[in-house]
Structure 1
């Protein structure tokens, strides 16, 4: 199973959408809520080069935010990155 990490803020609707897509795909992930954690937020900015949430990583590869995640899903690339068998899994 791939290591999936997502940096979120509690009030962010895009974070909720991204997590929902991962749940639909039955992908477990580690969530870092940076709402009140400036140290974790700085870590996110350093890792991703971005300052918006969510920021998603698959095996340490920066995927981007919610729209990037959905774009990958639309093109069929997301399942491959997640290691999901597209023929049923």
Structure 2
């Protein structure tokens, strides 16, 4: 029973209530996607992807975090190390960010990693990698 509870806690990640004492989190640089060249033909790029080719048009990656969550830190560090262009939204620092988090499927667990229309609540490097690969990032 204890192992099952530990596994559940690991898969869900942190909850949105902060611990009583939290360490300051070092700011991480957020990678931003490079814009397509002005002469890029998006339809041709999408056709290439449909034919099994690599597409330059990939869905946006957003990670919803809090400053005190260690799993959020792991998610941010993973995306930075893999050089995945992503946007970080601190759901406690912004009311708009909290609303966006809820609208994207957040139910209290963090981080919430969103790739296009797919989301993973809680942190799993393997699940995130599978989602990114399916979206054409790896």
Aligned ranges 1:29-44 → 2 under 5 Å = 29-44=86-101
Aligned ranges 1:1-89 → 2 under 5 Å = 1-67=58-124, 70-72=125-127, 77-85=130-138
- List runs of 5+ in structure 1 lacking aligned partners: none
Tell me how far apart the structure 2 counterparts of residues 62 and 53 of structure 1 sit (CA, whole Å): 11
Q: How many residues align?
A: 81
Q: Is the 8 A contact 1:58 1:81 kept in 2?
A: no
Relative to the length of structure 2, the TM-score reads: 0.50
- What RMSD, in angstroms, separates the aligned Cα atoms of the two structures? 2.1
Structure with bigger RCO (C-alpha 8 Å, 6+ apart): 1
**CA deviation string 1:24-83 (max 9, x = no partner):** 11101111111233442243123214212110100121122212xx1325xx62441341
Tell me how far apart the structure 1 counterparts of residues 103 and 60 of structure 2 sit (CA, whole Å): 19
Tell me how far apart the structure 2 counterparts of residues 43 and 79 of structure 1 sit (CA, whole Å): 21
Relative to the length of structure 1, the TM-score reads: 0.72
Which structure is larger by alpha-carbon Rg, 1 or 2?
A: 2
Bigger fraction of residues in helix: 1
